[in-house]
Amino acid sequence: MRVEFKEQKAQPVLSIRTRTNLTDLPKLIGDSYHKIAAYLEELGEKPADVPFTAYHNMDMKNMDVEMGFPVTRPLPGRGDIKAGKTAGGQVAVYMHTGPYSKLEVVYNEIFRQIAEKGCQPKGIYYEYYYNSPDEVLESELLTRIVIPLI
């Protein structure tokens, strides 16, 4: 498993940030994506890339999560849909193929390679989802993990 280290520009997004627990997370993610997609359609806009979930902490009982879509330019938010941007600068990137249940092992290896390189995570972890368990077998799920570094 090889992690890529690179510079990344901040990307405008529309997102919903909230708190939840691990059990309620899948429904929350789906509902948030549908709400933001409907709003983008109202604006006559399309996402610039696949949807993401940003994890601002790793407390599985009180997760601080942000679900959203990258957009091509800054767009106005509405209600709980906020305009923002992803973190720019140095990042560690890894494309995972396989079930979400294997992500803990993947993250541990990414963190090991980050430490080996002498870097530290900023404390936010992005997961970009290229497909879903509704579309493909778990073994074919594609998740790009992006970890901004200090």
CB 54, CB 66: distance < 8 Å:
yes
Q: Tell me, yes or no, if the pTM score tops 0.85.
A: yes
Q: What is the largest CA-CA distance in the chain?
A: 46
Domain containing residue 12: 4-148
Distances (CA, A) of 15 to 49, 90, 119: 13, 22, 28
Q: What is the pLDDT along the chain (150 residues), one digit of tens a residue?
A: 899 999 999 999 999 999 999 899 999 999 999 999 999 999 999 999 999 999 999 888 999 999 999 999 999 999 999 999 999 999 999 999 999 999 999 999 999 999 999 999 999 999 999 998 889 999 999 999 999 999
CATH of the domain at 70: 3.20.80.10
Number of domains in the chain: 1
Q: How many residues does the chain have?
A: 150
